[in-house]
Structure 1
Amino acid sequence: MSHAEPRVLWVVTDEKPGHRSQQEGLVERLQALAPFDVHWLNIENLKVSLADVLLQRRVQPDLPRPDWILGAGAGTHSLILKLKYRFGAKTILLMRGAFPMALFDANITPVHDNPPKRDNVLPTIGVMNPVLPRYEGRDKATGTFLIGGINDHYQWDDGSTIAQIEAVCHGQPQVQWTLTDSRRSPDRFLPALAAKQIPNLILISHKDTQRGFIKQQLDTTGQLWVTRDSVSMVYECITSGAPTGLLDMKPLRQSRVVKDMNKLLAEGWLQDYSQWDVSKPLPQTEKRLWEADRGARWLLSKFGD
């Protein structure tokens, strides 16, 4: 196959938002860098038996034969291995799975999951996402708060979180702040914050946000404050290129997530609320993170014709 001829990529998905986001980020970068004919396949609609593999039965008669197969999530692992042996396609797995990594042609896994050192494994800083970095042209008169909620890693405290938000807004009255919560946020949180009547803060419930709202905020806002329990959101903020700070939360235990957030702070990817003068805008870090792009380039180099 020539480089001008599109590679056929089957993306096998369990449709879980976190897994889908990783796949979308990688696929978008692959398509930006090379010709691909992409087909998304839901595992609920794609049943492949061992007999199908052994008897060389047609699995998806309406789709072109795959060159690459991409999976994310435990439910996709055995399926993409069956498809690998049925079609002889290159298989790519995102995150660690129950099967040995040697069975897959490529694996892209976050460092915090302790992937083995193998030629077919690319360790990433956090999980990949579809966010496009933007380092110039941000609206410095705006800022955004992204709030998580009840979780297994940090103690949620309405009062402490609200006090920090108040301090940032009052410390920078010239900035128009927007805040949105999440499905994990307690129902009482937004009403309690609204009662503070902070003049330069707009509150938007996650129930009222339109598709693409977070993406737009990440793309344009001058600075971001995020709760450290929102791991995927933290990495999306870093990837966006927006100056980002972590609101303070008390850890429940020294979990993988807590250690990961502490590592990001120590390495200078983020600012810590407890160490920052909130009357000053968050600074632009010189560090750059775009793991979806790095993963796409690694795959194209590894599987180059």
Structure 2
Amino acid sequence: MRTNIRHVVFLTVLGICYLLCNARLPFKPRDGSLPFLVYFPSRYRGLCVGTLVSRTAVITAAVCVTNPTIPIRDTRPINVITAATYRHPRRGIRVQVVKIIIPNLHNVSTPNKGYLMQKSPAILLLKRKVPDVLAEIPLRALDIDYKGEEVLSLQEECLIPGWHFFYKGDKIYPVHKFLLQRNVRVQFLNIVKKKMWCEALTMKFQKALTNLGFIGYFDTTACVCIRDPDRTAQPCHVSYLLRAIAPRHASLDIASIDGRPNHASLACLPCQALSTNYRNRIL
């Protein structure tokens, strides 16, 4: 009799689990997380960030995966890493890239080709699906302030998706870690001290990448500096992904890293290779 009761209980629990698994709600990321971000080592830019547009495709900047001055396509393997909030050799899930789609610029002159490649996206097709608990389902479209109408006030707290190095005092540490998201405060945006602050950080950042073995090209035409509240992670970007998600009244409902829910909009900052920008265009 007891055996039959156990069988009935087991079958009941199994049936409930089956119904829940097949009728589950769309996956929602935990507060303060950006599950659609991935990163990968770039032979041309040191480290690059991309955005999942599906469970088998990543969109990133074309300059991260190709060199417009070399006619031969780079076919060496690339692995993207997802499910990590910072770069570390033993963290995240690695997925191999099997195909790279970039704009066809063969008939464009070399100087113009380089300029257009700086502004172009690339699609990375993955060998296998990213687990559904990591790829946000359904994907969110992000409202982007293309015209720069959102004004960030000094010391306003924002969430920065991208990649940033750990920095404190005159030391960049540790060499294997880069943040992928961080709560920071706007500082020296359109202020004359930008040169004194940003250029010093940029030089430290370039030296740190050189120590890691990167021998590629550094674009020094533009940079944006944003201050971390506790000064342990100073993002100072050149032409890499940078978006500030600021607490505003907008349609996108997102939470800050400390768990407090916010309404957010994207403030457009002057960087060139913005894969979040490209992600929004195709959704």
What is the TM-score normalised by the length of structure 1? 0.25
Q: Which has the higher contact order (CA 8 A, sep 6+)?
A: 2
More helix by percentage: 1
What is the TM-score normalised by the length of structure 2? 0.26
